[in-house]
Amino acid sequence: MTDEKKNIDDNTEQGKVGIYICYCGGNISDHVDVEKVRDRMEKLPGVSVARTNMFMCSDPGQEMIMEDLKNGTVNRVVVASCAPSLHETTFRNTLIRAGMNPYIYDHANIREHVSWVHHGEAATDKATRLVSAAAAKAEQLRPLEPIRVDAKPHATVIGGGIAGLRAAKDLADRGIEVTLIEKSPFLGGQLARLDRIAPTGDSAADLVKDLAGQVLANPMITVQTCAAVERFEGYVGSFKLGVKKQPPKFSQEDDKSKRGGLDGVNPGDYVPFSGVYPDPVPAEAEDFTIETGVIVLATGFKSYVPRRGEYGYRDFKEVITLTDLIQTLAETPAEGDRLKVNGRQIRSIAMIHCVGSRQIPGIHPEDESGNLNEYCSRTCCSATLNAANIIRQTYPGTSVYEFYRDIRTYGRGQEELYNDAGKNKVVFLRYEAEDAPQVVENTDSDDYPLRVKVNDTLTFGEEVEVPADLVVLATGMEPTGISELVDMMKLPVGTDRFLLEVHPKLRPVELPQAGILLAGTCQAPMDVGEACNGAGGAAVKAAAILGRGYVELDPFVAEVDASKCNGTGACVEACLVEGALRMVETEMDGVRRAEVTPALCTGCGACVAVCPQNAIDINGWTLKQYEAMVDRIVAADVAA
């Protein structure tokens, strides 16, 4: 420990605050007079230096901070830049490299809170107040130590689709014991419902069989099918999951092998369009508990189901989904030059894009829960084009018409699907969202059962009618219904109803709840490669959490002053996290006083607000620190 750090740790030296203000390449300095803010900060009491840099997060910016810390010029740090969610970790690591405690630093957000919403002198004045308040708080910061908890070297993966299988395998390959929980009797998820993967042409069945086979053969992995999590408690490194395993319930929409009770299916067999069957289903319900260090959520997605009458769905038997078509193509022998469906020759197929995706308020009706899928499902265009190419190449006598709003074939090799469709003489007709195609019964003398009407923008709005033997709806992705897990684990959900990561670039597989990670399409629509990449990222993160045998958490949690606590219990009633606060009888005088479980505490401050004795506070955000910030802001307003 350096002398400087020892002085700070012992609180024997007055705080010497260094303020470092970022131009952010113009993001801040275009609206905030950064140098004027710096000049004002230099005049504040307790401030030793105030400096600026074009990019404070850059190596030169960090070196500037480290140099001032090492030579004793400052022993508290305030960085005024973009949101702390972006670079708080960056600057804490800067302090660590300088040999200092990482918690003697505070952050003032003068980009999102100032330059992005204010202009001119008002922006400069607001930046001055925010940075000044941060400096007042920094003077009172004391070194804190991270909370250390033991981590059980075990991971639980919830979901047995391709992402869950990938995450389980990658974790086991790193020497971590894994339990994989899947609610259905099969492994493979939605991938098992496909035939060939665009644009590579790989067999979905082979991909599922290979990966599931590796998982089932790995002694580090325990697979529990027909199982669901019903109880949850604990914290990172020490979670407890209550799991119920019970016989499956099949719907009429499930295929015959499922409804027939899996007669003749052996463990390890692959059931087409269902997945790999790992073990016999349980004859009766059973409950068990899993103790685990981290949880990987790989709960996947479900395909959008068109409402009755949407493009004629369920009104006409000739209207099916793309998933239905894919299964039909896989199960139909390639005979003749026309596709046959249920014994009927298909001369013309109309394929309609964006069914259940990119929905617009006021144009598309909401579902029964009031939801709209305003996002793009991203994979539908490529899947539709791939099916169209297969039909045209295998059955040249079957015409294919694609009705689309926009073609989105992102990713390596996917644009070629669109080019190939043109070469295969697939006919494209483009429509506007507010003028969608109409599927109507054919009343003409020909024997086509349906007609699809559209105002084709490629021909300047000309009304076109396409006769069709079959209408295929390219349905999008929706998040799987996991409301029980969301409520149980307090999981954040985005406006699109998928699970919401902390940050899409800096923490792409993490949730705010430490130790709970995301893998695959539970967080957004993805193709197979992206889902596997996300699963691999979650596995790496999980391994990093468990690798040392313990986990360090930020110390911004509640702390009770036992000498002031008289045991009213108001803090426990106000606590938002079950188990974070409890009343404990002390040996000294027998009085029940509040006790904090640091690993569960989120530092929300609800307990602080209700304590009548001011016996509880939040480390790093104490009431005195708040008072100092308010006093400084008021003083700045009076001076202005």
Residues 322-338: what's their mean pLDDT? 93
The model's confidence at residue 324, banded by pLDDT at 50, 70 and 90, is very high
Residue 261 pLDDT = 53
Per DSSP, the three-state class of 353 is strand
Task: List the 105-109 sheet strands across, edge first.
Answer: 47-53, 17-22, 76-81, 105-109
Contact (CB, 8 A) for 451 and 466: yes
Residue 6 has pLDDT above 70, yes or no: no
Q: Which pLDDT score is estimated for 364? A: 94
Q: Minimum mean pLDDT among 39-48, 96-105, 264-273, 394-403: which range?
A: 264-273
CA dist 130 to 77, 88, 191, 309, Å?
A: 14, 16, 51, 56
Classify 558 as helix, strand or coil. strand
Helix (H) or strand (E) holding 389: helix 380-394
341 or 12: which leads in pLDDT: 341
pLDDT at 529: 95
Q: In this predicted model, which residue has the larger pLDDT, 130 or 8?
A: 130
Does the pLDDT of residue 79 top 90, yes or no? yes
Nearest residue to 275 (alpha-carbon basis) of 340, 193, 156: 193
**Torsion sign over Cα 484, 485, 489, 493:** negative
pLDDT class for 260, splitting at 50, 70, 90? very low
Angle of CA points 547, 553, 557, to nearest 5°: 160
**Average of per-residue pLDDT across 436-460:** 93
> Residues 558, 601: contact at Cβ < 8 Å?
yes
Q: What is the pLDDT of residue 586?
A: 75
User: Cα angle vertex 83, ends 80, 87, to 5°?
Assistant: 85
Mean predicted confidence (pLDDT) in 212-237: 96
Question: How buried is residue 513: exposed, middle or buried, by Cβ count under 10 Å (0-12/13-18/19+)?
Answer: middle
The Cα 505–Cα 531 span in angstroms is 16
Q: What are the backbone dihedrals phi and psi of residue 85, each rounded to the nearest 5 degrees, phi first?
A: -60, -20
How far is Cα 215 from Cα 201, in angstroms, rounded to an integer? 24
Q: Please, which pLDDT band fits residue 248 given cuts at 50, 70 and 90?
A: confident
The two structure tokens encoding residue 141: 């910061």
> Can you give the pLDDT at residue 48?
96
Q: Report, in angstroms and rounded to the nearest whole number, the Rg of the chain calculated over CA atoms.
A: 30
637: pLDDT strictly greater than 90: no
Enumerate domains of the chain plus CATH numbers: 3-144 (3.40.50), 154-300+480-551 (3.50.50.60), 310-476 (3.50.50.60), 558-618 (3.30.70.20)
- Compute the average pLDDT of residues 269-286: 90
Of 284, 267, 167, the closest CA to residue 539 belongs to 167
Does residue 256 carry a pLDDT above 60?
no
Across 472-491, average pLDDT: 96
> Which pLDDT does position 588 carry in this prediction?
65
Residue 459 has pLDDT above 70, yes or no: yes
Query: 230 pLDDT exceeds 50?
Result: yes
**Residue 15: pLDDT band with limits 50, 70, 90:** confident
Range 156-182 average pLDDT: 98
For residues 523-543, average pLDDT: 97
> What gap in Å lies between CA 31 and CA 117, rounded to an integer?
9
pLDDT, position 13: 58
**Which has the minimum average pLDDT: 9-18, 124-133, 177-186, 355-364?**
9-18
Distance of CA 23 to CAs 57, 73, 136, Å?
11, 23, 22
The count of C-alpha atoms lying within 13 angstroms of the C-alpha of 255, restricted to the half-sphere facing its C-beta, is: 13
- What's the pLDDT at 280? 82
Greater confidence (230 vs 263) lies with 230
pLDDT value of position 276: 95
What percent of the chain lies above the pLDDT cut of 90? 85
Mean model confidence pLDDT for the chain? 92
Q: What is the mean pLDDT of residues 140-151?
A: 94
pLDDT at 640 over 70: no
Q: Averaged over 192-213, what is the pLDDT? A: 95
Q: How confident is the model at residue 130 (pLDDT cuts 50, 70, 90)?
A: very high
Confidence of residue 255 (pLDDT cuts 50, 70, 90): low
